[in-house]
Amino acid sequence: MNSTVWQAEMVARHRSRETQFLVRSRRNMGSVQQPFIECDGGWVTNFSSNDYLGLSSHPKLIEAVADHAQHWGVGAGASHLVCGHQTLHHLFEEELADFVGAERALLFSTGYMANLAINVASLNRGDLTLHDRLNHASLIDGAQLSAAQFKRYQHVNVEHAEQRILSTAHNKLQLVSDGVFSMDGDIAPVTDLQALSIKYHGLLFIDDAHGFGVLGKGGRGTLSHFDKKVTGDILMVGTLGKALGCFGAFVAGDACFIEELIQSARSYIYTTALPPTVVAAGRAALAQLKSDYFSLNSQLQANIEHFKDAAQQLGLPLLPSITPIQPILIGAEKDAVAMSEQLSESGFLVPAIRTPTVAKGQARLRVALSAAHTPYQIDAVLDALFAAYQNCQQDCCA
Ligand SMILES: *Cc1c(COP(=O)(O)O)cnc(C)c1O
């Protein structure tokens, strides 16, 4: 009896998603994460990966993983505070801190967990955690797990953020923003956010999942893009699963913040440390970034410019983004899904992003570019995008 009630609800939920074009499904990828990829048994050109520099299958990274598996085995064996914190983790933290110019860095298993940690560990009841409305889901979850008051301001609107601060009685202030917004590709107004944060004695926290490895001097990220560094009142999270092509994440900040996270962040304490092979891959990726950033990034920039120029000439509704995330705003969920399906039939993987990831009626195709794409692949996807867009407009008017 009980199970029938539960099953009926699950089935009803699924039906409701179907009628709103909101069902998501997983594709089975059958090959290495590269621009030309096997997807559900066929081959497509992939414009949906976060592997912006093409590092995820780099020979140096693969070699590092194989070598470290021989010497260190496969699992870390325990959490960091028990006996899972290996010298590899420690060295990598020092390298990351040194790279972004912070006193200390702390490795986390994922960016999701790092974001939970910062929100929960540094906030008390009565504090205010103030977020850009388009912040990543993991930041929102972190804010909701904390004891603090959670408010949001209009996207990149620093004036609105200040109004929120003034209208909310609070003790400490934490100002939180994605560095590069994951579904829009635009960049946070970090200089103004920092000024606001300083004015109200706040802590600015930048989630740089999509900026680290791409923006700033040598790929140091969004803070560096604005000539800023991690300091006593700015923290950053960088992830290793996107431009670095690996897995994991780190928080960089002043030693006192890092120490507090070690002592109190539950998503740090109660989980197994990253496998040594993954740490080895991350270190190799960072080394690659240090030695090759110029050539990797110039290829990526050339691809971004090429895509933007051509898309503008074709009249595709691009959002204002200079990053590898180039969304094409469609609007209706149904249209975005139809276009994505047409693209897939033409041999291109460009996902439709819908609510709840973005606001309802703001569905879009999210094109993600990589240094590994060839100009030919970019021209080909533009042709397919243009054809799908025209088709969609004809259907809308019919
Ligand atoms: C992907 C992403 C995360 C989560 O990082 P993972 O390491 O994949 O858990 C956090 N914040 C933003 C903005 C992201 O895009």
Calculate how far, in angstroms, residue 313's C-alpha sits from the geometric centre of ligand 1.
Answer: 32
Position 257 scores a pLDDT of 94
Position 25 scores a pLDDT of 87
Position 69 scores a pLDDT of 97
- Spot the catalytic one: 210, 225, 228, 373: 210
Choosing from 131, 134, 138, 183 the residue with most ligand 1 atoms within 8 A of its CB, the one to mutate for a pocket test is: 138
Rounded average pLDDT over 378-397: 88
Rounded average pLDDT over 109-123: 90
How much of the chain exceeds pLDDT 70, in percent? 99
Rounded average pLDDT over 201-208: 97
Let me know if 242 is a catalytic residue. yes
Over 60: is that where the pLDDT of 239 sits?
Answer: yes
Calculate how far, in angstroms, residue 309's C-alpha sits from the geometric centre of ligand 1.
Answer: 29
Let me know if 210 is a catalytic residue. yes
Kindly give the residue spans of alpha helices, DSSP state H, lying in 85-129. 87-100, 111-122
Give the pLDDT band of residue 164 (cuts 50, 70, 90). very high
- Read out DSSP for 7-40? HHHHHHHHHHHHHTT-------B-S-SSSEEEET
What is the value of pTM for the model shown?
0.95
Calculate how far, in angstroms, residue 253's C-alpha sits from the geometric centre of ligand 1.
Answer: 18
Cα torsion at 207, 212, 214, 215 (round to 10°)? 70
Ligand 1 atom at minimal distance to the Cα of residue 178: 13
Position 104 scores a pLDDT of 97
- Spot the catalytic one: 49, 109, 182, 370: 182
Ligand 1 pocket, 274 CB below 6 A?
A: no
- Spot the catalytic one: 225, 228, 242, 373: 242
Position 2 scores a pLDDT of 60
Cα torsion at 44, 48, 50, 56 (round to 10°)? -10
Cβ count within 10 A of residue 368: 24
Let me know if 344 is a catalytic residue. no
